[in-house]
Structures are given as C-alpha cells and as structure tokens.
Structure 1
C-alpha cells in the first residue's frame, strides 16, 4: 500500500513538473526579425567633418564613446556634425531621435578620408502619401536619394519654445552679478567657468564665461554638454548622453582676443542627474590644443537659482 502511494505521488509530481515546464515555455517570449532594428554604417575622420542631415529637428543624441564628437549646427535644428576626437578609434555607435519620433541607429568607424561627408536621411514612406520628404534648413545637396529610416517611432510631448522669450531671459542672466564662479577650470592661461545657473519655466540657463589671460587669441571650435558616469572602471565602458541647447545667447562670438573674455548663455531643457553621474561641459579650441572642461554634480545643479 505504501509503495502504491509513493508511486502515485511520483507520477503526480512528474505531471506537475512537465506541466510547469510547458507553461514556462509558453510564457517565454522570443524575438523575431520584426523586433530588431538595423544600424547604418558610416565613417568619420579626424581632419574632416561629416554632416548628417535629418528630416526633422534633432531631440536626442547618444554617443557610444567619447572618441566620437557630435554637435548640432548653430541655428539649425536638423543637421548633426560628426568628427573623430582621436585618430584610429574602435568601432562605436550613435543613436539619434528626431522630433517626429524617428529612430536612427549608426555604427561608426574611423577613416582617414571618409568617402561620404554629407548624408541625407529620409523617413521611410509607403504608397503615394507623403512620398516626398521635407528637409528644413538643409544647405547641402543630396548625395543620393537618401537613407530610409526604420519604421520605429517614439512619441514626444508637443512643446514649443519661444526664441524671443529665451533671448529676453538670457539677457537677464547676463545682467546678474556673481561674486564667485560655481565651477570651472583654469589652465593654459585660460579660465573656463560656470558664472551662474538659473531655472525658469523648466528651462536651465547656464552662464558660461571664458577668460583669456594670455596674449594669444583663442578661437572656439565648440562647447558641448554631456552626462556621463562619475566613476568608470578600467574594464567598464562609460555611457555618455549628449544634451543640446534650445538657444544660445551670443552664439556668433567665437574668438576671444588676448587678455579678453567672452560670456555666453546656454538654454537647456530641465535635467537632473543621479548621484553616480556627472554633467561634463567641454570647450574645444579650433586648430589648437587648449581644450578645457569641468564637471557638475547633481548637488551643483540643484543649487540653480530662480531667475524671476
């Protein structure tokens, strides 16, 4: 009788185990071809600039490595400039989202002389509707019929920013007097500093000041903002996310004479960062080596003052 009960229990246990495995297999989802998005292959150089021309405003850019530099063209919302930060870098990736919700993914390799310097990217269209693609403020000719993006979409909240309003508030920032810099770096007889940080209507206003204490003029190549890991191990890849300004006050002043200075205001969308991240602000000299940068922590950003 005991043996019969044991046999019955074992059989029941096996049935439950088999049923559980079958149920687990049914619940486990697998990826199909429709779940994967391809990446376009592009090359960039150290001495040449590659331009990517998107059909809509660029709202998000992610760089897989600090060896790659990316910057939006001033006063133009849909053109991204790419350049190598170091020669001969390893393959990395680039992700771009546009205001229409289009998602673009790229694999980027280094090339001494890239063949394609101006690339037009088009949204994928089907049928006769929307058969043509609008390229706002795109001064470069098409190298071909464009590269079709994938059908993946991201939805964004509809938000309009008034340039006149941002210009007015930036003027108020320039008029604020500060007795000390919030953060910065002094090097090469130069000083690159955050002179003030303010918030108004969910917009951050970064008052940057560059002082040239040498007799040699300083030509600004670009200033970039990106969020990165605070600490990076030797065998750990750093994740970086570049953020772009909605507006720049004094954008055309790019040369600082000897013993001169320059003040600019960068208007950014409100962003706070985790404690294990930092905001890095970089200044690059055109055709020179006096590159400067400094870091802001979340604690620094939370000290932003009210503008009005």
Structure 2
C-alpha cells in the first residue's frame, strides 16, 4: 500500500474537470465554498476576486469581491482527490447564496485510486491463465464504497508483441446445458489506468480497472476476457464471488 499513500499525497496531479458553477460575490459579505476534500491550489482569473483558505478547515475557501461591478471572471480550485472545480464569477450586490457545498467529483476520485494501486504488490492469487509463452492474471482486488478495483497483469515472455483488441468484463454461468441460451451480463469499466493496449515481447504490463460494485450469484463468475488483435492468443480470467469477498478495503483520500 506504499504507493497508495504516496499517490494520495500527490493525487491532485491527476485532475478531472467538472462543469462550471456560477458564483455571485459582493464586496460587503464573504461567500464560503465548502469542498469535499482539502484544497491544494487556487487560481483567480483577476485580482477583482479575493480568495482565502481557512487554516483550521483546509476544505473551505472564503471568497469576496475586491471591487464593485467587475467584469465577469473565473476561479479554479484543485482539491486533494484530483478534482478541478471551475467557477464563473460575477458581481452581485445581494447574492442569493452565501455558502456553496460542492459535491464529490467521483470520476477524479476513482482515477486517484486506480493510479494509487497500480504498482501495489500482489495480494490475490489463483486467478490466472497461462499459454503461448504468456500469462495473465489478477494481482489484487480492492474496494472503496461502491467501486471495486481489479489490478491485472500480463506477462509476455515470447518475442512477438501482444496487441489487445478486446477487453471485456461480464458475468457468465459456470456451466450450462446445450439447450440453455447463453446469458451474459456486461460490466462496463468506470475507469482504466495503465497500459492495456500493447505488451511488447519479453515485457509485461499492469493496469487497474474500476467497476461498479457487485456480487456474483451462485453458479456464475466474473469473466475478464482479453483478445489479441489479428491473432489467436486469447485469455480468460475467472473471478468468483469468494474472491470479491476477500477484496481489500481502501482508505479514505485525505
């Protein structure tokens, strides 16, 4: 978990912008912006906007107008989880809102976690597929609230590069009779970090995939399918419910 701690400290480098929020301020009263994470950086469009962080509460920014009727400008705030909050700032004698509670930018938070666990040591064993002088498997399964993170590796011990054409996640029946139609429930990744496009010969790669939290019914498994572009080196990893139940809980971003 060493990398996780380091990446959380530097998580603001992995930014993801959110839609702009209209912010009305005045000279006589202070407007408070309350963020879900500590503030790392503040950028004002012009000096007409005064902004001050609260030492005792690093997630709060106090904003005020330095002059009346200034030209519309902007304000950008980067928080500790890697989010960028953008504001369009205008002057208003009597703003209707004095306190803004900003929501969590979930995409940025997930991105911070996937980057943080990318280089973690292996904690999950037994989920692998090996053939063609190659091997693929799951190094770790992590969970944070409603998101599960799968740390996946591919080792290419051969001389020929491996180009990934298809990466799928779906829930599949363990066994089925010939008369039973195939039923697959596709699981769309929320975010992927790392190289999952090409693995050069005599090389390896690790990537992390974030999926919406789910558990697997009896007699089914999560299939992680990787198929080669213009080739036949395909892999299938089978994740069972007992593997998900052993997922390591990630700490809060701070």
Contact 1:203 1:269 in 2 (8 A): yes
SS in 1 for 2:189: coil
Q: Is the 8 A contact 2:159 2:201 kept in 1?
A: yes
Determine the C-alpha separation between the residues in 2 that align with 1:288 and 1:233: 30
In 2, Cα distance between equivalents of 1:161 and 1:223: 26
Residues 234 and 258 from structure 1, CA distance in 2 versus in 1: closer, same or farther, beyond 3 angstroms? same
Q: Distance in 1 between matches of 2:105 and 2:222?
A: 23
- Of 203, 208, 211 in structure 1, the residue corresponding to residue 155 of structure 2 is 211
- Is it true that 1:198 corresponds to 2:142 in the alignment? yes
Say whether the 8 Å CA contact 1:228–1:278 is kept in structure 2: yes
In the alignment, the residues of structure 2 paired with residue 284 and residue 203 of structure 1 have an alpha-carbon distance, to the nearest angstrom, of: 25
- Counterparts of 1:215 and 1:180 in 2: how far apart (Å)? 28
Query: Which structure is higher in helix share?
Result: 1
- Cα RMSD for the two superposed structures: 1.8
Cα distance, 1:163 vs. partner? 2.4
Give 1:181 deviation, angstroms: 3.2
TM superposition score normalised by structure 1: 0.46
2:204 corresponds in structure 1 to 261
1:270 pairs with 2:207: no
Shift of 1:189: 0.9
Aligned with residue 249 of structure 1, among 182, 193, 203: 193
Structure 1 runs not aligned, ≥5 long: 1-158
Q: Deviations over 1:8-31 (max 9, x none)?
A: xxxxxxxxxxxxxxxxxxxxxxxx
Contact 1:198 1:204 in 2 (8 A): yes
| 1:290 has 2:233 as partner | yes
- Indicate the structure (1 or 2) with the bigger Cα radius of gyration: 1
The equivalent residue for 1:21 is none
* CA positional deviation for 1:162: 2.4
Which is bigger in relative contact order (C-alpha 8 A, separation at least 6)? 2
Structure 2 length-normalised TM:
0.55
Note the residue ranges of structure 2 that are not aligned, 5 or more in a row.
1-102
Looking at secondary structure, tell me which structure has more strand per residue.
2
2:179 alignment counterpart: 235
* 1:223 aligned residue: 167
